[in-house]
Amino acid sequence: MSTTIVLKKGLNIPISGEAELRVSKAIAPGIVAVCPPDFKGILPRLLVKEGDPVLCGSPVIADKKNPDILLTSPVSGTVKELVRGDKRKLLTVLIEADDEQKYVDFGPKDVERMDAEEVRQALLQAGMWPWIVQRPYGIVANPKDTPRDIFVSAFSTAPLAPDYGFCLGEKIKEIQAAVSALAKLTSGKVHVSVCADTPGQAEFAKLQNAEIHSFKGKHPAGNVGVQISNIAPIRKGDIVWTLSLLGLASIGELLLKGKCNFRRKVAVCGPMAIQPSYIDTLPGMPLKQLAPFYGDRPDGIRFISGDVLSGRNAGVDGYLGFFDNQVTLIREGVDKELLGWARPLRYKQYSRDHSYFSWLMPWRKYDMDTNLHGGQRAFLMNDGYYAKVLPMDIYPVYLTKACLAGDIDKMEQFGIYEVLPEDLAVCEFIDPSKNNIQDIIAQGIDLMLKEMA
């Protein structure tokens, strides 16, 4: 293993509601959603219509720009409904699951004997390609490209993040098969980053055909963008690919067993969760099925598919995201305080800047809500303030302002190729100006895609 990379910048957010390391419920959803907006960069073309039967692994959607990229059904069943939004934009394909699941048989593969083209075709045919995300821009990778390197983060430091050792420790054989296969697709290396402080990471540190990196630090140390920045930064013209451990497990099972299996352990957590723990379920599961965790009373609760910093506000009528293995339940902060700025004795509220005396209890967890405790105003003119929580060699304020101005030259100069919105989520959390920094970065990336890609 390489030398441990210690990141001194960052911030761990002390929010309550961590999931216990036990699977409390297995959910076989009756309805499963395939949501094209989960896959940035894909322009969906429907391959099915209402009433069509599908198997687990059957193609449902293809990319208009690259028809080889498919989104497949995570269950066998019948296409129940096609949900569209403004201008008939396809939002969701709802599939009613069969009681007994049937799978498309793609046949097991001998990973060691496969060449790069065989690996590529196996992933495309089974709809596993969308697991591969390209940097810069965070879009689904182009199968015609050859990436400089491939990066995998084997841990997460996000608030209340799932324990990857608990969720995927038994999938080490599948993960190894996927790493060995993906190593054939790059001209460089597969880089796997593990956490130096977590004992459950030992198995991931033994993966072959990969270069292992050990990280130690606060959030966002677990973000693959931060890891790339500290291992081999992205420069203009570079293309790298990233995958999650969840994606590696699914790809490995396809290669070893010849079938698609999207089931996963999902952490249901957060201050509003009743007995937070793990469930065994599928992506696209309706969040309404989590009723035992919120007491059948969803009013006043925000349902987040993902973590509180960069997850998606799905709502009680929403669905678990394709890439997510965490659902966070948090109270909607709609209450307002009279003269709140004049009340420093707030032992039940957290302040990173020691504005309240809660800093005297560093061990404490807080029942945080969505209240911003203030309104939007001009940016704080001190880039060092935000840089204290961002272990990357960029200027977050200048980059954000360049995105606001739509100045492509400045965006390139200040590091737009190195980041995704999630990398600046902690900057948004501590921002006294209450700006939506992640949305601003996302708008900048969209402009880059339009003008440069």
**Residue 433 within any structural domain of the chain:** yes
**In the listed set 97, 131, 147, which residue is the last one of a domain according to the structure?**
97
Q: Which residues contact 319 (CB under 8 A, 6 or more apart)?
A: 32, 33, 35, 92, 283, 284, 285, 286, 287, 305
CATH of the domain at 120: 3.40.50
d(CA 251, CA 248): 5
Whether residues 393 and 440 share a domain: the answer is yes
Whether residues 251 and 190 share a domain: the answer is yes
Whether residues 240 and 207 share a domain: the answer is yes
Q: What is residue 1's predicted lDDT score, i.e. its pLDDT?
A: 47
Handedness of CA 331, 335, 340, 345 (dihedral sign): negative
In contact, 63 and 45? CB cutoff 8 Å = yes
Q: What is residue 135's predicted lDDT score, i.e. its pLDDT?
A: 96
**Residue 70 within any structural domain of the chain:** yes
Q: What is residue 340's predicted lDDT score, i.e. its pLDDT?
A: 61
Whether residues 236 and 125 share a domain: the answer is yes
Q: How many residues does the chain have?
A: 453
Q: What is residue 364's predicted lDDT score, i.e. its pLDDT?
A: 87
**Residue 372 within any structural domain of the chain:** no
d(CA 246, CA 267): 13
Whether residues 280 and 400 share a domain: the answer is no
Whether residues 328 and 204 share a domain: the answer is no
Whether residues 139 and 234 share a domain: the answer is yes
Whether residues 183 and 47 share a domain: the answer is no
* pTM for the full predicted model: 0.95
Whether residues 334 and 412 share a domain: the answer is no
**Residue 371 within any structural domain of the chain:** no
d(CA 242, CA 23): 28
Q: What is residue 297's predicted lDDT score, i.e. its pLDDT?
A: 82
Q: Which among 371, 88, 109 is positioned nearest to 258, based on CA atoms?
A: 109
In contact, 25 and 289? CB cutoff 8 Å = no
- Domain holding 177, by residue range, is 5-15+107-257
**In the listed set 344, 359, 374, which residue is the last one of a domain according to the structure?**
359
Whether residues 388 and 312 share a domain: the answer is no
CATH of the domain at 344: 3.10.20
**In the listed set 50, 69, 97, which residue is the last one of a domain according to the structure?**
97
Instruction: Quote the tokens at residue 324.
Output: 């997510």
Whether residues 177 and 276 share a domain: the answer is no
Whether residues 253 and 268 share a domain: the answer is no
The one-digit pLDDT tens for each residue of the chain (453 residues) are 457 999 999 999 999 999 999 999 999 999 999 999 999 999 999 999 999 999 999 999 999 999 999 999 999 999 999 999 999 999 999 999 999 999 999 999 999 999 999 999 999 999 999 999 999 999 999 999 999 999 999 999 999 999 999 999 999 999 999 999 999 999 999 999 999 888 778 899 999 999 999 999 999 999 999 999 999 999 999 999 999 999 999 999 999 999 999 999 999 999 999 999 999 999 999 999 999 999 878 889 999 999 999 999 999 999 999 999 999 999 998 777 666 656 666 677 888 887 777 777 778 899 999 988 777 887 766 778 888 999 999 999 999 999 999 999 999 999 999 999 999 999 999 998 889 999 999 999 999 999 976
Number of domains in the chain: 4
Q: Which among 367, 366, 345 is positioned nearest to 357, based on CA atoms?
A: 345
> By CB neighbour count within 10 A (0-12 exposed, 13-18 middle, 19+ buried), where does 174 fall?
buried
SS3 190: strand
Residue type, 75: V
Q: What is residue 106's predicted lDDT score, i.e. its pLDDT?
A: 96
Describe the strand order of the beta sheet including 31-34 as a list of residue ranges.
31-34, 90-97, 77-84, 53-54
Beta bridge partners of 400: none
